[in-house]
Amino acid sequence: MTLSGVFVPLVTPFDEAGAVAVDALDRLAREVLDDGATGLVALGTTGEPAALTDAERRTVLDVVGRVCRERSAPLLVGANTRAELVALADSGATAALCAVPAFLRPGEDGVVAHFATLTGPVPLVVYHVPYRTGQPLSAGAIRRLAALPGVVGIKHAVGSVDADTMDLLTNPPADFAVLGGDDVFISPMLALGAHGGILASAHFATRRFADLVDAWHTDPPRARALSAPLTAGAAALFAAPNPTLVKAVLHARGRIPTPAVRLPLLAPDPTLVDAAVRAW
């Protein structure tokens, strides 16, 4: 299994009473798949999973999982512990999106050993985001992770296209998906050979993001033309903590009932909301 294309990490919309807006979540899932997304991510960072109750997380997984089953679309689910992974075994999830351990900075050997203990219940996609976790990984360490049975890919979000990114994409592991996770860097990642992206910005203009992935593999001049407005739009959406602006624009477009986020997130500055709305 090599994952490719555009995966949309869905927001968790809330209604006026503060509950999960189930109908809006179902509608969002269907809209982005209809518009060209390859698959969906449930309970990723964009979905605010840490702010949800256990029951709410089950509701989100049930809704998004049902849509993916109906559409035969792959589903990634955010999960970071052995217990969470075991619970996913019968959920129909294609893979779990599992973050490199944060804050502890266990070193590369510790990261590899950690993921070795998690393999088995479901395939794993490593979520590598060192500016959040504090733990960098070299291209060599990523290749060691790729060699673990059941580790099928990586969400690669290092905040740049650095030397290790170049090294990894110059000689990628076989049968291992490299998915760009920094929306503003998705074009250079694809140009270097990434298989696709996990992109919060693809709540909007999903078809253009899907076309961007295809074009970098088949028609680079067209890909360059597509890139500039999508990159600018992504930058506007990430001018405040994610998913505050994504939700604000979705609400402004009438796609979710409120723009509400839960603490510790706060509503974004209205000036940034206006800029993001204009960008999309």
Is 131 an annotated catalytic residue?
Answer: no
Compute the C-alpha angle 85/118/111, nearest 5°: 130
pLDDT of residue 137: 98
Q: Above 70 in pLDDT, residue 162? A: yes
Whether the CB-CB separation of 259 and 253 falls below 8 Å is answered with: no
SS3 category, 122: coil
Taking only the tens place, the pLDDT of each residue in 234-247 is 999 999 999 999 99
Q: Is the dihedral angle over the CA atoms 171, 177, 181, 182 positive or is it negative? A: positive
Taking only the tens place, the pLDDT of each residue in 78-93 is 999 999 999 999 889 9
Average pLDDT value over all residues in the chain? 97
Residues 6+ apart with CB under 8 A from 39: 3, 5, 7, 8, 68, 73, 74, 75, 76, 94
Q: What is the pTM of this model?
A: 0.96
Residues 6+ apart with CB under 8 A from 111: 100, 101, 135, 137, 141, 145
Is 155 an annotated catalytic residue?
Answer: yes
Average pLDDT rounded to a whole number, residues 138-161: 97
Q: Above 90 in pLDDT, residue 201? A: yes
Domain 5-239, CATH 3.20.20.70 — does that match?
yes
Average pLDDT rounded to a whole number, residues 39-66: 98
Whether the CB-CB separation of 95 and 73 falls below 8 Å is answered with: no
CA Rg value for the chain: 18
Average pLDDT rounded to a whole number, residues 199-203: 98
Of the candidates 127, 204, 209, 216, the residue annotated as catalytic is 127
Taking only the tens place, the pLDDT of each residue in 213-265 is 999 999 999 999 999 999 999 999 999 999 999 999 999 999 999 999 999 99
Q: Above 80 in pLDDT, residue 278? A: yes
pLDDT of residue 1: 61
Of the candidates 57, 128, 155, 247, the residue annotated as catalytic is 155
